[in-house]
């Protein structure tokens, strides 16, 4: 089995089960799925198993375009295998109609990159694996999405990472991104390509999008085995955010390029797992913003030189703006992010061990 999908779950078993209802209908002829639970405390792991056995049913989305991708419910039970993170690769259990399901449980949440690395290390022990699709759990996918990504990557060995057309889950007629995003290193701003354009409008030329793409958005990102062997795994220093940009920069150093497949369509909720879609004073939103600032500092420090200088200037500008606006919540986030960055830079403290205290 050469193609596998990795889905990370944290405290959102319902989203993950809905994602699997669409994913396990893929028309990819031979593929498997690894769900890695990142130390959830809401019985996610047990509930996903109950869903696979057929003990729990998932209500489809209200929007008819999305509902069609997950109904009728998949025939249950769905065979699955539970493995430990360090367990040798086991033969996947066959499932009628294709698709194999493996469940891995991490004891602790060490972040998005670390969770994906657990699954990637497990899969790379099997030399038959040629492609891995990293897919967010808060997504619903069209049946051809995986196959089209894999076919594009197979046609050009210079491609290391391939992205899908991301459409907004709550507004399916809106584009969330044409595969990836640009990063403005001067202002520290990320801009998804095609953001909020109409899905019914003509798409820009493929070459134009790919030439502007700085990284593939991790909500849907297929990587090749050759890329993984040469570039390595994600940098687990990044608990949340900027792990895709760092990966893309490392890939470019090794001669790999990024690609987009317009016809590979994924509907993405955006921010549900990280709680970045909450109000500005919500503790989850503050924590997400803390990791955003921290990971940006880490990225700029790692790539050094002028890139690090820009990172320092960005931070100073963000802090000055917060002071002028008397935004106490934002100042608290920035101060704690800088304190966390110094602990990481001087003592090697991993991001998942840093304690963030949200503003009441």
What the chain holds in terms of domains, given with CATH numbers, is 3-268 (3.90.550.60), 283-353 (no CATH)
Identify the pLDDT of residue 285.
Answer: 87
Identify the pLDDT of residue 304.
Answer: 78
Structure tokens at 209: 């999008």
What does the pLDDT average to over 124-146? 95
On whether the pTM is more than 0.85, the answer is: yes
Identify the pLDDT of residue 92.
Answer: 59
Identify the pLDDT of residue 308.
Answer: 86
Residue 355: pLDDT band by 50, 70, 90 thresholds?
confident
pLDDT tens for 172-183 read 999 999 999 999
- Asked if the model's pLDDT at residue 325 lies above 90, the reply is yes
Identify the pLDDT of residue 149.
Answer: 98
pLDDT tens for 221-241 read 999 999 999 999 999 999 989
Identify the pLDDT of residue 350.
Answer: 87
Identify the pLDDT of residue 24.
Answer: 96
Identify the pLDDT of residue 56.
Answer: 95
What does the pLDDT average to over 124-131? 91
Residue 279: pLDDT band by 50, 70, 90 thresholds?
low
Residue 186: pLDDT band by 50, 70, 90 thresholds?
confident
More confident position, 27 or 274: 27
pLDDT tens for 92-119 read 555 655 568 999 999 999 999 999 999 9
Identify the pLDDT of residue 39.
Answer: 92
Residue 264: pLDDT band by 50, 70, 90 thresholds?
very high
Identify the pLDDT of residue 227.
Answer: 98
Identify the pLDDT of residue 277.
Answer: 55
Residue 280: pLDDT band by 50, 70, 90 thresholds?
low
Identify the pLDDT of residue 3.
Answer: 95
More confident position, 349 or 254: 254
Residue 90: pLDDT band by 50, 70, 90 thresholds?
low
The whole-chain average pLDDT of the chain stands at 91
Pair type for strands 101-106 and 80-83: parallel
């Amino acid at each position: 089995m050469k193609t596998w999908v990795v889905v990370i779950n944290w405290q959102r078993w319902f989203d993950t089960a809905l994602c699997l209802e669409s994913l396990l209908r893929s028309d990819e002829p031979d593929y498997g799925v690894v769900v890695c639970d990142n130390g959830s405390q809401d019985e996610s792991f047990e509930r996903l198993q109950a869903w696979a056995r057929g003990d729990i049913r998932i209500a489809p989305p209200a929007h008819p375009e999305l509902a069609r991708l997950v109904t009728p419910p998949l025939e249950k039970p769905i065979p699955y295998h539970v493995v430990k993170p360090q367990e040798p690769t086991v033969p996947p259990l066959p499932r009628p109609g294709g698709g194999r399901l493996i469940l891995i449980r991490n004891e602790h949440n060490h972040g998005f990159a670390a969770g994906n690395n657990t699954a990637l290390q497990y899969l790379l022990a099997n030399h038959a694996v040629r492609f891995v699709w990293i897919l967010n759990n808060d997504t619903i996918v069209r049946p051809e999405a995986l196959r089209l990504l894999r076919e594009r990557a197979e046609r050009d060995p210079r491609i290391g990472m391939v992205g899908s057309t991301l459409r907004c889950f709550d507004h399916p007629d809106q584009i969330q991104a044409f595969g990836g995003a640009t990063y403005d290193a001067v202002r520290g701003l990320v801009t998804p390509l095609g953001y909020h354009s109409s899905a019914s409008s003509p798409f820009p030329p493929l070459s134009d999008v790919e030439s502007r793409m700085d990284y593939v958005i991790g909500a849907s990102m297929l990587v090749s085995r050759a890329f993984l062997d040469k570039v390595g795994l994600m940098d687990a220093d990044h608990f949340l955010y900027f792990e895709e940009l760092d990966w893309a920069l490392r890939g470019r150093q090794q001669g790999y390029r990024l690609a987009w497949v317009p016809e590979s369509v994924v509907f993405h909720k955006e921010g549900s797992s990280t709680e970045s879609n909450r109000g500005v004073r919500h503790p989850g939103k503050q924590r997400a913003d803390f990791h955003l600032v921290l990971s940006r500092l880490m990225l700029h420090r790692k790539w050094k030189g002028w890139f690090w200088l820009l990172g320092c200037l960005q931070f100073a500008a963000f802090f000055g703006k917060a002071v002028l606006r008397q935004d106490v919540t934002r100042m608290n986030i920035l101060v704690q992010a800088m304190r966390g960055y110094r602990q990481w830079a001087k003592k090697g403290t991993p991001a998942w061990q840093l304690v963030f205290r949200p503003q009441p």
